[in-house]
Amino acid sequence: MKYFLSGKHVLRHLEKPCVYCSSTDELYELDEAGFDFLRSCAIPGGCDSSRADADFIDFCISEGILTVDPVSLDRPLIIQSPIPSLRYLELQITNRCNLSCRHCYIGGTDNSELSITQLKSVLDEFEAMQGLRLLITGGEPLMHSRSSELNYMLPAYSFRKILFTNGLLLKQDQLNNLHVDEIQISVDGMERGHDAMRGAGTFRIVIQNLKLAVEAGFAVSISTMIHRENLTEFDEMEALFKSIGIRDWTVDVPCCEGRLMENDSLYMPPEIGGKLMRFGFGGGLHEGAVGYGCGLHLAAVIANGEICKCAFYAEHSAGTIRDGLAKAWAGIRPVNLEELECAKASCDMINECRGGCRYRASLSCGQQVGTGLERDLYKCFHYGIMK
């Protein structure tokens, strides 16, 4: 019997050898024997059962990793990733946007956007670095002047592609030709709360369009920011999102940056905002590791070509696209939980919370007042450490 690695799966060599399915976002760690066997199954001629034990083969078949139907694909190179591995890349392709949301941390925009040449360079290098998830963001990424060209480049890459959008431009014709695995849409309340943040009439359009995305077969997730005008709407949002078939619902608090500093009446203090962070469901977007804080496997490329550890740290560049993604990644230092005030206070929740958002922890409404080692008080209230 000949076996073939499924066309939906790709081998990656991260801290440990793995097989990854971009369509389901499932990552399986392997031992060296299992990895070598699947590598032999990834060639056009496939492999035979004599090279692995029956239980492993049965598991791979049950999970859809192996198939008996011939598969012939140009597979990406398998090389050892950097350590820590760069698994998630936030690619801010443009600052342009069709909204002026009252909480946007980018604030005013300079209409910067990455060129197609820059985008291809980043995508090629992310693939070579064994990347798993590409987070296509903005601004509004569908406002990029050559977004259709980027869209038609995406199928050449084996990582998961996630489009972050405000949802207003997602029409049926576009959904029919969109080459992403998941769409994350911002919904900041029911009609009253969402429109208070994003503009009158936007809620109804967004809900209509996200339903179209679900009906078109996309995995759809939602991001919601807590603010003063949506405080009573979370139970209703949860019921609505579950009824529609939303994959993941992420609830967070906006950092007091950009336009939120001009609209500080919407700002929620930790004792209120933190408790509402209990809402949400699904697996979320970023995984970490015991002993390390947020962003262990994440970097961001900003619309001006700078590379940093996440978009909030746009002013703290680790390099540029011209320098290369690998070089910039080597200069981004992981957050060690032992260094944080949380660890010094012997917090029992530190490995579950992972210190929360390091950028938010250092802020006092737009002013960086700390070292970044402070507690994220929103997470303290979220986990009940503070009452």
pLDDT per residue as tens digits for the range 103-157: 998 865 678 999 999 999 999 999 999 999 999 999 999 999 999 999 999 999 9
In a domain, 376, yes or no: yes
| CATH number reported for the structural domain that contains residue 110 in this entry | 3.20.20.70
Are residues 354 and 318 located together in one domain of the fold? no
Same domain, 119 and 261: yes
Q: How many domains does the chain have?
A: 3
Residues 164 and 297 in one domain: yes
387 within a domain of the structure (yes/no): yes
Total number of residues shown for the chain: 387
Residues 39, 101, single domain; the answer is: no
Give the residue from 225, 91, 112 showing the smallest Cα distance to 163.
91
Query: Quick check: is 78 in a domain?
Result: no
Asked if residue 340 is part of any domain, the answer here is: yes
Are 331 and 349 found together in one domain? no
CA neighbours closer than 13 Å in the CB half-sphere of residue 386: 17
Distance CA 301, CA 309 (A): 9
Is 88 in contact with 285 (CB distance < 8 Å)? Answer: yes
Both 253 and 307 in one domain: the answer is yes
**Quick one: 12 and 41 in the same domain?**
yes
Residue 275 domain-assigned (yes or no): yes
The one-letter amino acid at 292: Y
Same domain, 61 and 30: yes
The reply to whether 131 and 280 lie within a common domain is yes
44 domain-assigned: yes
Return d(Cα 325, Cα 317) in angstroms, integer: 12
**Span 73-96, pLDDT tens digits:** 999 999 999 999 999 999 999 999
Number of H helices, E strands in the chain: 14, 17
- Same domain for 173 and 250: yes
Determine whether 350 is exposed, middle or buried from the number of CB atoms within 10 Å of its CB (0-12, 13-18, 19+).
Answer: buried
Give the closest residue to 156 by CA, choosing from 65, 43, 74: 74
Whether 302 and 314 have beta carbons less than 8 Å apart is answered as: yes
245 plus 104 within the same structural domain: yes
DSSP tag of 336: B
> What is the β-pairing status of strands 298-301 and 88-92?
parallel
The per-residue pLDDT string of the chain (387 residues; one tens digit each, 9 = 90 and over) reads: 899 999 999 999 999 999 999 999 999 999 999 999 999 999 999 999 888 899 999 999 999 999 999 998 999 999 999 999 999 999 999 999 999 999 998 865 678 999 999 999 999 999 999 999 999 999 999 999 999 999 999 999 999 999 999 999 999 999 999 999 999 999 999 999 999 999 999 999 999 999 999 999 999 999 999 999 999 999 999 999 999 999 999 999 998 888 888 898 998 999 999 999 999 999 866 778 889 998 999 999 999 999 999 998 988 999 999 999 999 999 999 999 999 988 888 899 998 898 999 888 887 554 555 677 889 999 999 999 987
* Residue where the block lists tokens 């890349």: 89
Same domain? For 323 and 347 the reply is no
Q: What tokens does 316 get?
A: 């703290």
- Quick one: tokens of 384? 């009940």
Torsion sign, CA atoms 365, 370, 375, 376: positive
Alpha-carbon distance of 163 to 218, in angstroms, equals: 11
| One-letter amino acid of 1 | M
Question: 380 in a domain, yes or no?
Answer: yes
- Angle value at C-alpha 205, between 204 and 206, nearest 5 degrees: 95
Q: How far apart are the first and last CA of the chain?
A: 61
State the DSSP code for 292. B
Domain interval for residue 301: 88-335
Instruction: Report yes or no on 75 lying in a domain.
Output: no
Contact 297, 306 (CB under 8 A): no
Give the three-class secondary structure for 123: helix
User: What span, in angstroms and rounded, lies between the C-alpha atoms of 106 and 141?
Assistant: 14
